[in-house]
Each structure stands twice: as structure tokens, then as C-alpha cells.
A and B are shown apart, each in its own frame.
Chain A
Amino acid sequence: MKLLIMPNSIKQVNELLENIDGIIVGLDKLCINMPYNFSLDEINELITICNENDKEIFISLNKNMFNKDLDYLKEILLTLDSKNITGIFYYDIAIVNMKEELNLKVDLVWNQEHLTTNYLTSNFWNEHGAAYTALSSEITLDEVKEIKKNAKAKLMFTAFGYLPMFVSRRHLVKNYLDTFNLKDNSKINYITKEDKVYQIIDTVDGTIAYSDKVLNAISEVSSLDIDYIILNSFSIPNDIFKDVTHMFKNVNSANKEEYKEKIDSMLDTYLGFLYKETIYKVKKND
């Protein structure tokens, strides 16, 4: 099992390099929902760092694309295809089509966030160039295991971090402030409901919102047969993320409960949907 992180800076990558197998980084203007949007220059620097240190590097181009984005997307795909990168995370299937049309050799990662929920669809995208699937965080551990048994792609499992739960093209915070003539320049906002606090961010590409708690699946991963685990640094203090990464790197069946407790003591954590199946039919249709 390899350990990938979604870092928030080049400095953080350098600090954590010895404890990780690779990184997932978002390219500015073509990604959303990432801890930091790196410029192309920064991405190039990160590629060099990873290549020199024998680490894997995945580039996330995971936003919904419009026609206005396609020229730049094509340029970037051609550029990245010429680099030594491990793969490209995609949400929009424009990327799949471009890979096929341009005969790109780079591997893709099916990363449609909440839609990566079964092995059949994973296998479909695998036939179209997705050598990897980044699994949805809204499925149970049993579903993860069943996908692993049947999927052809290498699987990635988010094991730590705040979970994305909403992406809109609309600027919902700005719209609210404008409607009621309120002034605010916060980089991050919060919404609250019944004492729970959720992060909400109005970005240039729209609004995103995250879970109130941090997923901590460290006690699950040591016994999980999966190709990659992902730790997301979004909104996690750097010192804590460093400790967390170290613990995930070294977790085993003997220390997993101790590590779980340590992380739980530092952050407001939970197990997401790993043991909680979502329902979708609340009344019987006759």
C-alpha cells in the first residue's frame, strides 16, 4: 500500500518526503477542491522533486470544464504528457476524450468524487485509459473491499482529511453578501447548523463546502487490501499533518488503536460513511 498526500505547499512536500510514496497536486485554473492550487512553474518544480526522489506525482485537473477551458486544458495535457508524471486525476470526461484523440500516454485517474462507487464503472473507465480509480468517500468499507476484488484499476482510498461535499459554479457566499449588502473579505467562511460548523469557500471557479469533521481511517488501513491511501492536508495545521503522515506511514495492527487515539485527540474526527450505508428510499413504492 502506497501513501499519497495532497499537500498545501512545496515546503510541506519537502518536509514530508521521507514518509510518503507520492503526491497529488492541483494545477491552478483546472482544479477545484484541493488544499492549494499550484502554478505550472510550481508543478514543474514538484515533478523534479518527485522524479529525483523516486516519488510518484499525480496532477489533479478535477474541475468541471467549459468550452472556454478546453484550449488551455489541451495545452496542459500535452505538456504533462511529455513529463515524467504518474497520472492525471480527472472529473470531466473531456480529459478522457482528449487522451484518446491526442493519443496521450499518460495514465488517468477516475476521480469523479462522489460517483466512483462501483467496480463496473471503474472497469469501464479503465478501458478508456483510467489505470487508477480514486474511490468515493460515501461508500462503506465493505463496498471498498468488493470493488477491490472486481476492479481492474489500481484503487485509491481517502483515509484522512475533511471530505468535500458540495461544488457549485455559483458564488454562493458572494451572492449572499451582495444581496444583503454585507462586507467580508474572508478567505474561508463557515456555515453552521445545530452546533456543527462546516467550511465553505468561494473560489474563482465557484463555491465548495466540506464536512464538519475529519475522516480518520488509520485503524482501518493497516488491514485494508488497497493500492493507495490518500491523506488530504486541506485545513489541517502543518504540524498535525506531519504527525498524521508519520503515523499513517508506520501504522500496523499493533499500534493502530494508539495512533487512532492520538489523531482523535488532536482533531474532531469520525469514520465518515465507512460503516454507515447511505439510504435512498425512505418509503415503499407500491
Chain B
Amino acid sequence: MIKKPELLAPAGDLERLKIALLYGADAVYIGGPAFGLRANAINFTLDDIKEGCEFAHKLNKRVHVTVNIVLHNKEIDGLIKYLKDLEEAGVDAVIISDPAIMKIAKENTNLEIHISTQASTLNTEAVKFWKKFGASRVVLGRETSKDDIKEIMDNVDIEIEAFIHGAMCSSYSGRCVLSNFFTGRDANRGGCAQICRWDFDLLDENKNHLKGEKEFTFCTKDLSELKYIPDMIDLGISSFKIEGRMRSIYYIATVVGIYRKVIDEYCNDKENYTYNSDYEKILRAVANRDSISQFFLGNYGKECQYYNGRVEVSNQDFLGIVLAYDENTKVATIEQRNYFKLGDEVEFFGPNLETFTYKVEEIIDEDGNNIDIVRHPKQVVKMRVDTKLYPNDMMRIKNVLTK
């Protein structure tokens, strides 16, 4: 059997951390209360981090914390204590882009150090520098190609982490301050306002409008390396990273679940592995934007651009999450996440479950009343489902594959 890479998932809070690990991630990366690049996400408190680490370690899995802010003078003072607190909470690794933070982490903790993609590490010499200075892993810049990655791995003995799925920066990481200029929000300190998704008029050198059917934007499609997972495994990349700490539990469960299957199917039986296009359809169904493989194959041309600006499809496929299941009565307790009603055909899926379809024939509310529609956010209802379900299994609309 081929050595499996780590599947590394994003988690914006404890619920998402647990879902990511239960659905097949080997590790999660999270933002702490400070020094991360998602300042406007909910982020974890130190107590949350401790609880998350305990949960992960019981499953023999890992927690990485982003400390990848671009440091300003006023942030220097709190750093040592913060890093020590992370170590005490049980964190396995910190993801850092600023070498001053790395130096402090090395001098004051035994935390494993991963170099963030924010450092835009793109070549062998840069990776050598980070290794020499004590990093155990480098998250490569998303602009690296398959050949770049291979050459780096052939020349430096260090763990390499690469993105496989999610949103892309249009710029080199760290080299975009559009957000600073347009909104005063600091892109390199977690305040990015995603100006890349704004529409602009493009003019020629004489300031005549170059008008296409849609307006100019910096924006790119999302990344999906689904088809190239076998190539990435064969390269020996240590960790496959999914982007999206602000994504929903449904998105995380679905994306992690699909990549878990692909990695397992390929590593367990490489000779008989075939690409399953249904997986691609499911990934497409949970996304709100188009996705494509990009720099891995050296592609960064027009097919990678996304000209629909901030228009994103709101996904309402996720209908509910299983809270409990009574094997004697075969009654599932389900918390609603989107509107559903009697007669709907739905699917249940989960980490320990073969996906199956089900027609909603009876719904009972918390007071024991039969109801026709589940319309209230997070409403808890009971439904008889003959197939055994587990807590954290999910219910979605039936036609995901045909969307």
C-alpha cells in the first residue's frame, strides 16, 4: 500500500473541527484568538483550542494553528506568551510566515513549525533556508507546478504541504495590498476585503474602455486538484490542504469526505484505481463558484479567471444534521439547516455510512406533534429512518449528482 498523505482540513470553530476530523481529515488547521490571517472569522479561544486538541488526539489526529500574521511593532509583546499558551493547549504545530515569529517559537517552545503559504515559498533555495532554520514543513506557494514541487522534493528532505482545494489568491500571497488601499483593511493582518472580486473598468493606454461582456476583475476560479490527487500522491507530497476556514460544516464534511475517499481508493489499490466523476459532481454541488486545477499543471491562463465578481450561488442543499439515533425505535433526531418538508426525497451521508436516499414521510416536532414543514433554523425534529444513522451524519437534497 502506498503511504497516504495527511489530509488537512480547515476549521473555523469547534463544531467544524470535529466534523472535519470525523469525516476523514487527518489534521485540522485553525485560527487562534490572535496573530492569524482570518481576523474576522469567529476563531478559537484558548479553551476551544485545548478542547479541540483533546478531541483530535483521542482520534490520533493533529491540530495546527495559524500564526501567520505579518507582524507590526505593537504586536511583538504578546507573542511569547501566546505561543507558550498554544503549546500548553496541546497544539501540534504552528503555521508561521514571519521568521521573527518563528525564531520566538523556536526559542521558547517545542512547537513544530510549518512555513505558511503566506511566505510564498516557490523554489528549492527558499525551502533549504527554512529547513536550515528549523521548519519541519513548508506549505508551498500556490504558483508552484508539478515540476517545481518534484524538483524541490528531490533536493530537500522536508515535509511539503500543498493546496488541493478551495479559493485562490489572484496575487502572490503577501504581495497584494488592494484591501489596504481600497478599504483601509490590512490584507496581511487578516483583514482582506477581497477587492480581487470587485468589478473594474479596464482601459487602454489612451484611457479608452476595453469593454468585454463582463467587467474586468482580478478574480480567479477556485482550485480543485481532484483529478490530480494520484499524481500528487505519487510525488510524495506529505500533506494535502483544503482551503476555507470560514466554510460551513456541510461544505467541510462533503469536501473532506470526497478527498478522503479518493486518497484511500488510490492508496489502497493503485492498480485498479479509476477516476470517479460523481465525486467531481458532488464537489461542484457544494461549491458556490467554479473550480479548476491551476498552477499544478502550469495553467494560469484565461480559463482560470472568474468574471462573475461577487455573484455566488447560495447553497441550500444541506437540510439537517443527525443529533442522535435510537436503534430500537429507528427514530433519528435531526437538527434542521435548511427548509424541508413531507414528501421530499433526501440523501443521508456520513463518515460511517453508505450514502442512501430516503423519502420524508413523517416529521415530529419537539412537542411530539406531526408537522409538514421544517422551516425554522436549527429546529430539532424526529423522523423514522430504517437505516442506522450516527450522530453527525448529514441530510441533503437528493439530486446533488444531477445538479
Pick the contact of B185 from A115, A146, A184, A279 — CB < 8 Å? Answer: A279
Question: Which residue on chain B has the smallest CB distance to residue A276?
Answer: B184
Pick the contact of B98 from A94, A115, A209 — CB < 8 Å? Answer: A115
Flag if B103 contacts A138 (CB, 8 Å).
no
Flag if B304 contacts A281 (CB, 8 Å).
no
List A residues 167-191 near B (Cβ within 8 Å).
167-180, 182, 184, 186-191
Flag if B188 contacts A178 (CB, 8 Å).
no
Flag if B123 contacts A179 (CB, 8 Å).
no
| B291 in contact (CB, < 8 A) | no
| A278 in contact (CB, < 8 A) | yes
Flag if A70 contacts B205 (CB, 8 Å).
no
A34–chain B nearest beta-carbon distance, Å: 14
Q: Which residues of B contact A66 (CB under 8 A)?
A: 122-123, 143-144, 148
Q: Which residues of B contact A189 (CB under 8 A)?
A: 202-205, 210
Flag if B180 contacts A120 (CB, 8 Å).
no
Flag if B40 contacts A281 (CB, 8 Å).
yes
Question: Which residue on chain B has the smallest CB distance to residue A183?
Answer: B210
Q: How far is the CA of A150 from the CA of B77 in the complex (A)?
A: 14
Q: How far is the CA of A69 from the CA of B207 in the complex (A)?
A: 35
Q: Which residues of A contact B182 (CB under 8 A)?
A: 193
Q: Which residues of A contact B122 (CB under 8 A)?
A: 64-66, 92
Pick the contact of A176 from B39, B40, B305 — CB < 8 Å? Answer: B305
Flag if B174 contacts A112 (CB, 8 Å).
yes
Q: Which residues of B contact A120 (CB under 8 A)?
A: 71, 73, 76, 100
B53–chain A nearest beta-carbon distance, Å: 19
Q: How far is the CA of A166 from the CA of B172 in the complex (A)?
A: 8
Q: Which residues of B contact A65 (CB under 8 A)?
A: 122-123, 125-126
A244–chain B nearest beta-carbon distance, Å: 22
| B278 in contact (CB, < 8 A) | no
Q: How far is the CA of A91 from the CA of B165 in the complex (A)?
A: 27
| B302 in contact (CB, < 8 A) | yes
Flag if B220 contacts A170 (CB, 8 Å).
yes
| A241 in contact (CB, < 8 A) | no
Flag if A138 contacts B177 (CB, 8 Å).
yes
Q: Which residues of A contact B216 (CB under 8 A)?
A: 172, 176, 191
Q: How far is the CA of A135 from the CA of B210 in the complex (A)?
A: 36
> 1/0 contact trace for B188-206 toward A, CB 8 Å?
1111000000101111111
Pick the contact of B99 from A121, A279, A285 — CB < 8 Å? Answer: A121
Q: How far is the CA of A279 from the CA of B307 in the complex (A)?
A: 28
Q: Which residues of A contact B380 (CB under 8 A)?
A: none
| B248 in contact (CB, < 8 A) | no
Q: How far is the CA of A188 from the CA of B141 in the complex (A)?
A: 27
Q: Which residues of A contact B220 (CB under 8 A)?
A: 170
Q: How far is the CA of A273 from the CA of B226 in the complex (A)?
A: 42
Chain A count of residues within 8 A CB distance of the other chain: 74
| A143 in contact (CB, < 8 A) | yes
| A147 in contact (CB, < 8 A) | yes
Question: Which residue on chain A has the smallest CB distance to residue B181?
Answer: A165
Q: Which residues of B contact A200 (CB under 8 A)?
A: 202
Q: How far is the CA of A18 from the CA of B142 in the complex (A)?
A: 45
| A105 in contact (CB, < 8 A) | no
Q: How far is the CA of A186 from the CA of B205 in the complex (A)?
A: 5
> 1/0 contact trace for A122-144 toward B, CB 8 Å?
01110000000000001100010
Q: Which residues of A contact B100 (CB under 8 A)?
A: 118, 120-121, 123-124
Given the interface pairs A189-B203, A281-B190, the reply to whether A172 lies near B305 with Cβ below 8 Å is yes
Flag if A93 contacts B126 (CB, 8 Å).
yes
| A259 in contact (CB, < 8 A) | no
Pick the contact of B172 from A118, A167, A283 — CB < 8 Å? Answer: A167
Q: Which residues of A contact B125 (CB under 8 A)?
A: 65, 70, 93-95, 97-98, 101
Flag if A115 contacts B70 (CB, 8 Å).
yes
Q: Known A-B contacts: A121-B71, A146-B73, A186-B205. Give 9 more (CB < 8 A).
A: A64-B143, A114-B70, A117-B71, A120-B71, A124-B103, A166-B178, A192-B201, A280-B39, A282-B40
Going nearest first, the 7 A-B pairs with the smallest beta carbon separation are A180-B212, A280-B191, A94-B125, A186-B205, A278-B186, A280-B189, A191-B200
Could you give 29 example pairs across A and B, Cβ below 8 Å?
A64-B120, A93-B129, A94-B123, A97-B125, A117-B70, A118-B76, A120-B73, A120-B100, A124-B99, A138-B180, A167-B172, A167-B175, A169-B172, A170-B304, A171-B300, A173-B202, A175-B302, A176-B202, A176-B216, A182-B211, A186-B205, A187-B205, A190-B202, A190-B203, A191-B201, A193-B182, A276-B184, A278-B185, A285-B33
Q: Which residues of A approach B to under 8 Å, CB–CB?
A: 64-67, 69-70, 92-98, 100-101, 112-115, 117-121, 123-125, 138-139, 143, 146-147, 150, 163, 165-180, 182, 184, 186-193, 197, 200, 209, 211, 273, 276, 278-283, 285-286
